[in-house]
Amino acid sequence: MVERDQVTRQVEATGVVFSGRCEIQSAACTARNSAPITAIWELPGRTQVNVCRRCLEEMVRTGEWRIVGARFRPHADVALLNRDHRPVLLVEVKRRPPFRTEPEDEQEAWARRIRRNLLVHGAVPRARYFMVVIFPGRSYLWIEDESPKPDASPVATFDATSDIRSHLRGAASEAELERAVVEWLHDVIDHRDKLPVGLLESGLAEQFEDATVVHQYAA
């Protein structure tokens, strides 16, 4: 999946579902071979693109596509809910692509673009904390105010690679990584001393009191 500033392309859903191979092939793709997919039209030329549900949602969430006449519910890969069942932390989970330059510099720029696209297109709910977890590699935390600034720099960076790896049971697909992040956050709820040192000054540790972790949270 290309994460960058781009011109959003309008698409039109056909509603037709059939078996085939997804043409988008994002990291979250569920139809790399034959599986249920749907056809959409890219406008204005009405070019047909065959796409699985996960890739369709990802293209809309990151601002590549906008479906004419349709709205997607804002959601996050993983969310931490407080005792009132309100989200206090949203987590976007990404498998690290190959970077062309120094990994640390390019990773942060990539994480910032991910957050910016999601905020600009209203693809995530509102929460006090927003986290981009990159595996393997550095991850990033933002503290959001009443009017989140799309181009803001993260307030903290940390490396949870070893903690997440300990929960992986198979290949590091994005679905498996999301599940591993859910288990890692459960660990932090039970043992807050497992929170990475880089996050201790953010106030995030207090949010784990009586908290619940939700996979694929929708507002």
pLDDT per residue over 15-44, tens digit each? 788 889 999 998 888 898 888 899 999 988
Residue 33: inside a domain? yes
Tell whether 20 and 39 lie within a shared domain: yes
Picking from 51, 67, 83, the residue at the C-terminal end of a domain is 67
pLDDT of residue 85: 93
**Number of domains present in the structure of the chain:** 2
Average pLDDT of 76-80? Answer: 94
Tell whether 56 and 116 lie within a shared domain: no
Contacts of 88 (CB under 8 A, 6+ apart): 80, 81, 82, 127, 128, 129, 207, 211
Tell whether 42 and 85 lie within a shared domain: no
When mean pLDDT is compared across 72-86, 102-116, 137-151, 200-214, the lowest value belongs to 102-116
User: Does the pLDDT value for residue 6 go beyond 60?
Assistant: no
Tell whether 116 and 21 lie within a shared domain: no
Residue 36: inside a domain? yes
Average pLDDT of 140-166? Answer: 91
DSSP 98: P
pLDDT of residue 199: 87
Percent of the chain with pLDDT over 70: 92
Tell whether 118 and 159 lie within a shared domain: yes
Q: Burial letters for 8-21: b for 16+ Cβ neighbours within 10 Å, e otherwise?
A: eeebeeeeeeeebe
User: Does the pLDDT value for residue 103 go beyond 70?
Assistant: no
pLDDT of residue 69: 67
Residue 3: inside a domain? no
Picking from 67, 90, 117, the residue at the C-terminal end of a domain is 67
pTM for the predicted model, two decimal places: 0.75
User: Residue 50's domain spans which residues?
Assistant: 9-67
